[in-house]
Amino acid sequence: MLHKGKIQTVLGPIDPNTLGITLPHEHVLIDMTKGACSAESLIEATESAKAAASVVAAGWEPGEDGPGTAATWGAKWNEPICLGNRADVARNWFYYGNYKINSIDDVIEEANAFKRHGGTCIVDQTSIGLARDPQGLRQVSHATGIHIVMATSYYTHEYHPGHVATLSIDEICERIVRDLDTGVSGGIQAGIIGEVGLSTPMHPDEEKVLRASVRAQKLTGAALSIHPGFGPDSIWDAVRVIEEEGGDLSRTIMCHVEHRLPDKPAPRSFEPEPFLRLAETGVYLELDCFGWEESFRQRGKIDMPNDAIRLNYIAALADAGYERKVLMSHDIALQHWQRKYGGHGWQHIPESVTALMRYKGFDEELIDKLLVQNPRDILTIA
């Protein structure tokens, strides 16, 4: 049973007042390969792999017989990440090994670095179908002393287990509630519903999962976290469904807003108006791609912001009175973002972004709200 007024971690409920700097959207352990055995077989399986393979440098020839990838590049995409290929990995995410974070030792190293910079809690938003690992999360928490909150519900329809298509909304809701109330894998309880994966347009099974997730939110008091598809229509479709189900928008997180919400093509992407309009609904706006400095791999018409632009959005929201409805994180789901493999790691926000915040005029009270109070409030079971 979930404990009202507490935060549910993989080691049990904790007092919200014990929480310090918190990352509300990360992937502690994850496997996005869908069981594909090679880079070639992964291309058609995921949204990001398709986008990465759409450039000439990937050597992909869709529609051709056979593997479809040029011989030399097929071998390259199957290499482990190392110093020699790190630049290619950043520019073309389509590296088979990049789609897995499955080393307990690597994760412990990352979590300890986060802890040394003042971090106390990580929310693992690895939903069912992305190789969620309750026992692994518990090991990492035991080894580091970092609080870890586990998620429940389902990602986008490509990752749905086969039973999702046959279950009703209420049956899916029951499974989500089970994860929250009684737990899985020996009683390890989830503490948040998400990230609920949506596509553009929303797949019928995704809508079914979203409705089930909203019903679970109403039954349990846990927060609801939404991974929208690309473009603002997906975000507003999610808001509509939540309202139709009588869900609590004030207990809902809309993820990835810095690159899913803007609706004007470059160079007019960076305008705060859509963010202020979404904030009016009461949802939490989560800017969770801190550390992504990758405009060179842009695949769409909307610019990917860097950390400075993300902070400008947050400043605009704070100036309009919405500073208590903003969350910040990294969404580290690919191996090359870990420090060990040349990335920014979980320490990036407490180590580097806070320095940039102070340089830009954020006072200590606002920084504390963004990194401590806001995630504490949304994670506390209502």
pLDDT at 354 (0 to 100): 98
- Residue that has been written with the tokens 């100036």 in this structure: 319
Quick check: 254 and 238 in contact, CB under 8 A?
yes
For the chain, the residue count is: 382
Q: Which amino acid is at 319?
A: D
* 25 assigned to a ligand binding site: yes
Residues lower than pLDDT 70 in the chain: 62-69
pLDDT at 68 (0 to 100): 62
* 203 assigned to a ligand binding site: no
pLDDT at 67 (0 to 100): 55
What is the residue-wise DSSP string for 15-41? -GGG--EEEEEE-SSEE-STT--SHHH
Its pTM stands at 0.96
pLDDT at 78 (0 to 100): 87
* 171 assigned to a ligand binding site: no
Structure tokens at 78: 């199957």
For 302-320, what is each residue's pLDDT tens digit? 888 999 999 999 999 999 9
pLDDT at 372 (0 to 100): 98
Quick check: 286 and 123 in contact, CB under 8 A?
no
Closest by Cα among 34, 300, 342, 257 to 158 = 34
pLDDT at 169 (0 to 100): 98
* 227 assigned to a ligand binding site: yes
Q: What structural domains and CATH numbers belong to the chain?
A: 7-29+102-379 (3.20.20.140), 39-97 (no CATH)
pLDDT at 65 (0 to 100): 53
pLDDT at 59 (0 to 100): 74
For 361-373, what is each residue's pLDDT tens digit? 999 999 999 999 9
* 142 assigned to a ligand binding site: no
* 256 assigned to a ligand binding site: yes
